[in-house]
Amino acid sequence: MGPFDKFHEECGIFGVFNHPEASNLTYLGLYALQHRGQESAGIVSSDGSALHVHKAMGLVADIFTEPVLKTLPGFSAIGHVRYSTTGSSQIKNAQPFVVSGGIGNVAIAHNGNLTNAMEIRKELESYGSIFQSTMDTEVIIHLMAISRERALLDRLMDALVRVQGAYSLLLMTEDTMIALRDPRGFRPLSIGTIDGATVVASESCAFDLIGAVFEREIEPGEIIYVDKKGVKSYKPFVPVKQSPCVFEFIYFARPDSIIFGKNVYEIRKELGRQLAREYPKEADIVIPVPDSGMPAAIGYAQEAGIPIELGLIRNHYVGRTFIEPKQSIRHFGVKIKLNPVREILRGKRVVVIDDSIVRATTGRKIIKMIRNGGAKEIHFLISSPPTRYPCFYGIDTPTKEELIANSHSMEEIREYITCDSLGYLSIEGLRHVVGGEQKPYCYACFDGRYPVEFPVRIPKPQMPLFYNL
Ligand code: 5GP
Ligand code: SF4
Ligand code: MG
């Protein structure tokens, strides 16, 4: 393992400036973003003269009890939820990071993944920088610390011109909040208002929960600077080709959110419709794999004119953090989460819809479950193209070798999954649904065309030990 034993992150960030209930709102915002990370959560608040921090492993609602929130006073706060594989689930890697020193007190929360962090870290360590964590985010702080500029924004720019990759960032000092997206705009980030205060969140669903008004998305390469005087917008980067992450639409974001100018549910449903056009099937029922396959299955059923049925029932009380370190127990996890409805499945020809296949271990279990439930024919259709390449920009995917579509033919995958037929959405179909050639997105996990280079020697990520259903 290299210095960054955690290369792959999925995260959510939330911030509020100038509101008497800053930490309570941040708690609620993180609660709405819990799907973006379940390993650790943290909030840093400011009362104008000092930063207060609380971070812990676990889920937002378990960590931030009323007494804990009372220890986070002030009018501004930023928060973070983090997902990672268990290998490095360490509290030292929980965010936001808080540093004090020459640059004053600064808290930082990051969603994304820097592709050249390791190089920079090695260089900084050779000059004597001492890192507290194994997170890529920390290099931004160190670069800010060694900057010869005085103003915070200038120090930040000094750091940002050095880093590459994906970053939606929130920074906070005692009396300012800064929110920004990298020039390519990999990860979403939106700005809103509540009672005259400014709020920022990875996804708009966080605004809905607290009753904030969604104003707009922060643009790729845009920096929002908030202090008592108001909100300022800067666009200091040389414009580059944008590449927001198309996988946010497919799987990662919540369906009720608006990201990259579109409602996620509508996109997923349209992906299902497109799937029906590409794979018309003679079938009796369409079954979604809950919850991620739900909107696409509705779209498929509507386009194909086949009734949709809930042939799999999900136990909603199983946390997403059902983490067990053995492959065999991961399969068991699927059974804990899903159960087939035999009365619906018996003797039927079924189309089963899921959003993606990564290793196919979950998919195989689910198909076997449906077969055991009595289905007579099973067509497994996936509302995204084959995932053949790992992500280096902040979504947790296994190494190339572990991605089943990278190392196996369609027929081999079908045989492994044990379905009667298998179909993936075409890349052209996906592109068409999200806006065609005019709308640039990152499709690298499907086509291997990486918008930002990454180091050749990539540390092998820990195996993700469970997948969200
Ligand atoms: P598989 O069948 O490959 O074992 O797992 C596929 C399932 O994992 C799909 O239902 C999909 O919703 C979920 N999934 C896809 N990508 C990710 C990811 O990046 N992280 C997690 N935790 N789950 C994912
Ligand atoms: Fe998103 Fe895939 Fe690009 Fe990663 S490689 S940013 S998951 S589209
Ligand atoms: Mg799923």
Q: Which residues contact 426 (CB under 8 A, 6 or more apart)?
A: 278, 385
With a cut of 50, say whether residue 163 has pLDDT above it: yes
Q: What is the pLDDT of residue 319?
A: 59
Task: Give yes or no for residue 250 CB within 6 A of ligand 2.
Answer: no
3-state SS class at 231 = strand
Q: In this structure, what token pair is assigned to residue 337?
A: 């989460």
Task: Give yes or no for residue 207 CB within 6 A of ligand 2.
Answer: no
Q: What is the mean pLDDT of residues 318-334?
A: 57
Starting from the CA of residue 363, give the closest ligand: 1
Q: What is the pLDDT of residue 332?
A: 65
Q: Which of 7-21, 41-55, 426-440 has the lowest mean pLDDT?
A: 7-21
Q: How many whole angstroms from 46 Cα to the centroid of ligand 2?
A: 34
Q: How many whole angstroms from 172 Cα to the centroid of ligand 1?
A: 33
The region that residue 96 occupies, defined by phi over 0 for left and psi between -120 and 50 for alpha, beta otherwise, is beta
Ligand 2 atom nearest 186 alpha carbon: 6
- Domains belonging to the chain, first-starting first, are 8-242 (3.60.20.10), 266-315+330-431 (3.40.50.2020)
What residues flank ligand 1, with Cβ below 6 Å?
Answer: 251, 289, 292, 354-363, 395-397, 467-469
With a cut of 60, say whether residue 456 has pLDDT above it: no
Task: Give yes or no for residue 259 CB within 6 A of ligand 2.
Answer: no
User: 94-129: per-residue pLDDT in tens?
Assistant: 999 998 877 899 999 999 999 999 899 999 999 888
Q: What is the mean pLDDT of residues 319-347?
A: 73
Distance of CA 434 to the CA centre of its chain: 18
For 27, 65, 72, 198, 215, the CA distances from 75, given in Å and listed in that order, are 14, 19, 10, 11, 20
Q: What is the mean pLDDT of residues 264-274?
A: 98
With a cut of 50, say whether residue 466 has pLDDT above it: no
Q: What is the pLDDT of residue 327?
A: 56
With a cut of 70, say whether residue 460 has pLDDT above it: no
Q: What is the pLDDT of residue 5?
A: 36
Average pLDDT, rounded, for the chain: 90
With a cut of 90, say whether residue 49 has pLDDT above it: yes
Active site residue 419: no
Question: Taking the model in full, what pTM does it have?
Answer: 0.92
With a cut of 60, say whether residue 464 has pLDDT above it: no
Between CA 375 and CA 386 the distance in angstroms is 25
Q: Which residues contact 50 (CB under 8 A, 6 or more apart)?
A: 105, 174
Q: What is the pLDDT of residue 401?
A: 81
Task: Give yes or no for residue 201 CB within 6 A of ligand 2.
Answer: no
With a cut of 90, say whether residue 370 has pLDDT above it: yes
Q: How many whole angstroms from 247 Cα to the centroid of ligand 2?
A: 6
With a cut of 90, say whether residue 424 has pLDDT above it: yes
Between CA 333 and CA 36 the distance in angstroms is 20
Choose, from 11, 205, 442, 445, the residue flagged as catalytic: 11
User: 169-182: per-residue pLDDT in tens?
Assistant: 999 999 999 999 99
Q: What is the pLDDT of residue 324?
A: 54
Q: How many whole angstroms from 291 Cα to the centroid of ligand 3?
A: 6
CB 299 within 8 A of CB 286: no
- In which band, very low, low, confident or very high, does the pLDDT at 435 lie, cut at 50, 70 and 90? very high
